Amino acid sequence: MRYSLIASALLGALALPQVASADEPAKEEPSYTLTGNVSIVSEYIYRGIGQSNRKPAIQGGFDFAHNSGFYLGTWGSSISWLNDADVGEGSSMEWDFYGGYKGTVGDFGYDVGLLQYYYPGNFDGFTSPNTTEGYVGASWKFLSAKASYAFTNLFGAQTPEGKDTDGSYYLELNGTYEVGAGFSAVGHVGYQSVKDFDDASYTDWKLGVTKDFLGLSWGLYYVGTNAKGKEGEFYHNAFGKDLGDSRALLTVSKTL
């Protein structure tokens, strides 16, 4: 009898903290997230075109996302293409700023925003490479599509007749599909239209795999375009490189 009373008292005492914790208010989830990222890539390739002359680049950025759907971010990368082209005082950096709104409806997602590409430097006597684009994106499960429209000259490009290239656009279709053992297959195809400049317009593609390993995200891809990059053509640089030629790309990144 005494044992039963003692046991009941102990059980009651042990239950008290549980009752007290049940009365504590639940912690509110934060209304936003702030994340960072850093990457090392074997070459900075954007829309199939080399930005670092076959050399590695370091990249990174920060993203703020509110649970309402609004977001802001900034991202930067080392580059060489402006110095390679001897444009003004050149720039060894690309610095991007973007913001927009995204959301989901069932399996469908949408994204609308504005992106500013900024290249620190002095470009007196040349068309500024700084570019402003608006974009609209949509996604469904493992597929996504996006359309980007340039409100300014596209990265400083002008037609052979000296016309501006604002109004250029880029269309892309992307897919990421988990294939097992932590691997994901990645596919991409895009089309860059440069307004009134057919010789600068082209199609690009990318195939590859990604995997998280040792706390890092690894990617291995094969990238190619049909851009005109032979000697004397638009995508041929001063070092004799075809900037849109097919090649392998290795990336290593970390989200902070």
Amino acid 192 reads Q
How many whole angstroms separate alpha carbon 246 and alpha carbon 249?
10
In a domain, 20, yes or no: no
Band of residue 125 on the pLDDT scale cut at 50, 70, 90: confident
| Exposure string over 192-211, b if 16+ CB within 10 A, otherwise e | bbbbbbeebbbebbbebebe
Is the predicted pLDDT of residue 18 greater than 90, yes or no? Answer: no
Question: Who contacts 114 (Cβ-Cβ below 8 Å, separation ≥6)?
Answer: 98, 99, 100, 132, 133, 134, 135
Domains: count for the chain: 1
Residue 68 has pLDDT above 60, yes or no: yes
Range 51-71 average pLDDT: 98
Q: Which two tokens stand for residue 229?
A: 């990059």
Output the domain CATH number for residue 222. Answer: 2.40.160.40
pLDDT of 7 over the 70 cut: no
pLDDT for the residue 10: 37
| 6: pLDDT strictly greater than 60 | no
Residue 75 lies in a domain: yes
The pLDDT of residue 86: 84
To the nearest whole percent, how much of the chain has pLDDT over 70? 90
In the predicted model, is pLDDT for residue 12 greater than 70? no
Q: What is the pLDDT of residue 2?
A: 38
Provide the domain limits for residue 43. 31-255
Of 56-60, 82-86, 203-207, the least confident: 82-86
Mean of pLDDT values over 170-196 = 98
Distance CA 45, CA 56 (A): 10
In this predicted model, which residue has the larger pLDDT, 101 or 6? 101
Contact 47, 234 (CB under 8 A): no
Q: How far apart are CA 175 and CA 162, in angstroms?
A: 37
- Condensed to tens digits (0 to 9), the pLDDT of residues 219-256 reads 999 999 999 999 999 999 999 999 999 999 999 999 99
Reading the block at residue 35, the tokens are 């994340």
Give the pLDDT of residue 89: 76
Confirm whether pTM is higher than 0.75: yes
| 90 band by pLDDT with thresholds 50, 70 and 90 | confident
Asked, for residue 2, whether it belongs to a domain, the answer is no
Count the neighbouring beta carbons within 10 Å of the beta carbon of residue 103: 12
* pLDDT at residue 22 in the model: 52
Q: What's 46's DSSP letter?
A: E
131 within domain boundaries? yes
Residue 204 lies in a domain: yes
pLDDT exceeding 90 applies to what percent of the chain? 83
Q: Is residue 76 part of a domain?
A: yes
pLDDT bucket at 126, cuts 50 / 70 / 90: confident
pLDDT of 14 higher than 90: no
Asked if residue 160 is part of any domain, the answer here is yes
DSSP 130-154: -EEEEEEEEEETTEEEEEEEESS-S
**Tokens at residue 149, please?**
């429209």
Q: Is residue 45 part of a domain?
A: yes
Q: Name the 3-class secondary structure at 139.
A: strand
pLDDT band for 91, please (50, 70, 90 cuts). Answer: confident
Three-state SS for 200?
Answer: helix
